[in-house]
A = this chain, B = another copy of it.
Amino acid sequence: MCELLGMSANVPTDICFSLTGLVQRGGKTGPHKDGWGIGFYEGKGLRIFHDPEPGIESKIAAFVRKLPIKSEIVISHIRKANRGKVELKNTHPFVREFWGSYWTFAHNGQFKKIKTEPLGDFRPVGTTDSEYAFCWLLGKLKKKFKESPQPESKLFETLEILMTELHQKGVSNILLSDSKHLYTFCSTKLSWITRKSPFGKATLLDADLSIDFRKVTTPGDRVTVIATNPLTSNEEWNLYKPGQFQVWKKGQIVFSNE
């Protein structure tokens, strides 16, 4: 299995604190040592870092987690390989251009027989179930909508149906983004926390590190962090229910099937 980390914020925000917690689980406090990756959106632009090295040993991870890249949407993943070798091409998040935007996808879980499903216009480069599922999902979307549909709720409803279908094929906790929204699906395990005024202090579960958010925020900031397992010891995280699909924009839920 793997661990996921996502962020949706209403102001460009760095994820150094949460990422420091996550990468500990990449070989130190957790067994997810088969690579890691992270994508940062800046408007429609995307920076993406991938490394098949364990997060805890990766020079790139050490560099990135100190790099204060400010973003409104982030998707990160640390990998414990079950299907697909430990190789760069099998490292999440996966990226495709679709409708003139970069879509990124990170997945925790595995599918039984996903590779027998016919694909549309998108092809996997690597050998993971996860990338195959991403290509399947985008192919289905493209077949249904030639252009990004309006109103947006049409897209949300279709994604809910497709992600529920994936959930029925196996364990499928998903973070997906198109640079505008962060789409999240819980198959078995996912948690979230929204930090907003009044801000407080937080302490990582996996490293001896605390932060006082009062010192690094302004009163209007709203930052939601989504993770497989809570990252801090002294805050109250919310748990997703199995089958729950939530769409985040600027740190707030804009669509939910609850």
Residues of A that sit less than 8 Å from B by CB: 42-52, 59-60, 63, 67, 87-91, 95-97, 99-102, 121-126
Q: Can you report 8 A-B residue pairs in the complex whose CB atoms are below 8 A from each other? A: A42-B88, A44-B89, A45-B50, A45-B87, A46-B88, A99-B123, A102-B125, A121-B121
Query: What CA separation (Å) do A47 and B87 show in the bound complex?
Result: 11
B residues within 8 A CB of A126? 44-45
Q: A42-B89, A43-B89, A100-B124 are in contact. List 9 more A-B contacts (CB 8 A).
A: A42-B87, A44-B126, A45-B50, A45-B52, A45-B125, A47-B51, A96-B97, A97-B123, A99-B123
Query: What CA separation (Å) do A43 and B60 show in the bound complex?
Result: 19
Are A47 and B44 interface neighbours, CB within 8 A? no
Query: What CA separation (Å) do A100 and B46 show in the bound complex?
Result: 21
B residues within 8 A CB of A99? 123
Query: What CA separation (Å) do A23 and B51 show in the bound complex?
Result: 23
Query: What CA separation (Å) do A7 and B91 show in the bound complex?
Result: 24
Chain B residue, CB-CB nearest to A69: B60
Query: What CA separation (Å) do A125 and B95 show in the bound complex?
Result: 13
Query: What CA separation (Å) do A87 and B44 show in the bound complex?
Result: 9
Residue among B47, B59, B87, B95 making CB contact with A43, cutoff 8 Å: B87
Rank and list the top 7 A-B pairs by shortest CB-CB distance, nearest first.
Answer: A45-B88, A45-B89, A100-B123, A42-B88, A44-B89, A63-B63, A44-B125
Query: What CA separation (Å) do A9 and B220 show in the bound complex?
Result: 52
